[in-house]
Every structure is written in C-alpha cells, then in structure tokens.
Amino acid sequence: MRCPSCGFEEDKVIDSRSTKEGTVTRRRRECLRCSHRFTTYEYIEPAQLVVVKKDGRRQDFDRSKVLQGILKACEKRPIPRERIEEVTDEIVSELQSEFRNEIPSSEIGERVMKHLRELDEVAYVRFASVYRHFEDITEFMQELRSLIKDAKANRQSS
C-alpha cells in the first residue's frame, strides 16, 4: 500500500475491523516513513454485475459511482464519511444478493433514494431532484410534501 502523504510503500496495520455483514474490512494504517495515518477498505469482489441503462446500453457496475452520487448528495451535511461508506456497502450488498448478472440502472437509483431518505432528508431531496429530473417546481413540491407527510407520521408513531 502506498502512503497517500509521502508515497512510501511500507506501512503497518494499526487496526482492522469487519463490517456487520463481513463483506468489507476496514484497516487503519500508519506509514513507516512519515507516520501519516490513513484508512483502506478491502472488498470481496463478486461476479461483476452489468448495469442496463434506460437506453439499453450496458456497462459494468461500479461501486464508486454509487459512492460519488451519495457523497454529492451529502455534501456539506453533518454525515461522517464512514457512515456514507456503510450506506454504500449496504446498497451494494443488497444489489449483489438480489441480482445475479444484470441490474436496471433505475433499481440502483431507487435503492440510493431509499437509503438516503432514512439517512438525511436534505441529501435525499438533493439526490431525488437530480435522479427524477423534476420538470418543474410542482413535481419538486409534491416530493417535498410526501417527505413531510412521512416525517409527521413517523413522529406521531414514536
């Protein structure tokens, strides 16, 4: 592993932890040259899923695209990077357990929205506004009303 600070290729592992599902190992490392600490993640690489786009094109599934979409939606929100990684892992794990070869791109977007709705309402609205391509303010307001209605129902049931 190359140190992101100085580029040295030797480090020591300070701490290793597995996720709940046991599919990811998080390692804290320390560079033996500059003592910079950094985190790496090890993932099980299952059979590659192929994403079927709306226009019929196909491309390999890329976890980093899911992560980048979630990071963009969560930008400037009080959500730790570690939690965003966990949510991404949950989504990827769900998709890999339910789909064997091909997965519609719409299914990925819907899963991300479902998880973001539980994680952070503002991040959810950001992602939904891009993903759903709201045509006008009316569609956007309908989504907000639905979110508010669900939030009120959750508060009353608690």
Neighbours of 28 (CB within 10 A): 14
Task: Note the pTM of the prediction, 2 decimals.
Answer: 0.67
What pLDDT shows up at residue 46?
66
As averages over each run of 10 residues, the pLDDT of the chain (158 residues) reads 95 89 88 96 81 95 96 97 95 91 95 95 90 80 85 78
Beta pairing class for 50-52 and 102-104: parallel
Using N-to-C axis directions, what is the helix angle for 121-131 and 137-157, rounded to 10°?
A: 150
How far is the C-alpha of 43 from the C-alpha of 22, rounded, in Å? Answer: 9
DSSP 37: E
What pLDDT shows up at residue 102?
95
What pLDDT shows up at residue 66?
97
What pLDDT shows up at residue 81?
95
What pLDDT shows up at residue 152?
81
